[in-house]
Amino acid sequence: MLDGQVALITGIGAGMGTGIARAFADAGALVVGADIDSQAGHAVMNSIGPPAVFVQADVSKVHECQGLVDQVVADHGRIDVLVNNAGVTKSLGFFDVTEADWDRIYSVNARGLFFLMQAAAVAMRDQGGGRIVNIASIAGKGYRGTSNVAYAGTKGAVIAMTRIAASQLARHGINVNAICPGVTRTALFDQVIDELVDRNGGTREQAEAKAVRSIPLRRANDPQDIAALAVYLSSDAARNVTGQSWNVDGGLHWD
């Protein structure tokens, strides 16, 4: 489905990023995986095997976003797909969000995502087209169970930037879409559950059960649920799909 495509995927060291990287490799893409954690990133890409490669990068730093795209183009001649997956959060009440929390979450989830999208779009424009998939969240659509208000704000920004980017990049043959996961079993999910238990008491099993109980299909996402949609949106099967924000959440949130 993606044979011969060069795909840059961020945040591949764990969770959804790992699942997306493996799904893209299985679909025939040459995967360049990026993560701030060099050890975890190398381990994931080594498990996938050649021609998949790892590049260490901190997407909260704008110059590293540009450098990452430049390296992919220099090494592989083009960039056909960008999956903007890197993200951070923590469980915080409304009154607990600090300026440092705000700045850290926005620097990765919103600012870093935009400037990496911008850098990739320049390369895609010059080569005649491409696909961008931004990982947002149902938090960006007002899901009340979000980890914190700052995180929700960044994901709302991702949805809005996806729509504007899709409209402005369409004339260059670049499709831009967003995926909005719901509750997804990843290391980040485990972190948020642990923080909820620390703050509210109870057991980990009770906190997980509460998170899943509200889902109409009664199951949390696996990373593969997100990966399957990312592959589709990056393929020719979705050639006329752009500017959309797709919920993958078991029916948890309605648009």
pLDDT for the residue numbered 209:
80
Q: Is the pLDDT of residue 22 over 90?
A: yes
Annotation says 143 is catalytic: no
C-alpha to C-alpha distance for 241 and 57, rounded to whole angstroms: 30
Whether the predicted pLDDT of 88 surpasses 90: yes
Residues 249-255 have a mean pLDDT of: 92
Predicted confidence at residue 188, as pLDDT, reads 72
What is the Cα–Cα distance from 56 to 151, expressed in whole angstroms? 24
pLDDT tier, 109 (very low <50, low <70, confident <90, very high otherwise): very high
- As a whole-number percent, the residues of the chain with pLDDT over 90 amount to 84
Q: Which listed residue (106, 143, 151, 232) is catalytic?
A: 151
193 exposure class (CB count in 10 Å sphere: 0-12, 13-18, 19+)? buried
Most confident of 33-47, 195-209, 214-228: 33-47
In whole angstroms, give the CA distance from residue 190 to residue 84.
21
- pLDDT at residue 195, rounded to an integer: 80
**Burial class (CB within 10 angstroms; exposed 0-12, middle 13-18, buried 19+) of 95:** exposed
Rounded CA-CA distance 42/33 in Å is 9
Q: Report the amino acid identity of residue 174.
A: I
Confidence of residue 113 (pLDDT cuts 50, 70, 90): very high
Report residue 232's pLDDT band, with 50, 70 and 90 as the boundaries: very high
89: which residues sit within 8 A by CB, 6+ positions away?
Answer: 105, 109, 147, 148, 151, 188, 192
The pLDDT confidence band at residue 198, using thresholds 50, 70 and 90, is confident
The pLDDT of residue 110 = 98
- On the question of pLDDT at 208 being above 90, the answer is no
Least confident of 141-145, 192-196, 203-207: 192-196
Tell me which of 3.40.50.300, 3.40.50.720, 3.40.50.10860, 3.20.20.210 is the CATH number of domain 6-182+222-248.
3.40.50.720
H/E run at residue 146: none
Task: Locate the DSSP E strands across 109-189.
Answer: 130-135, 174-181
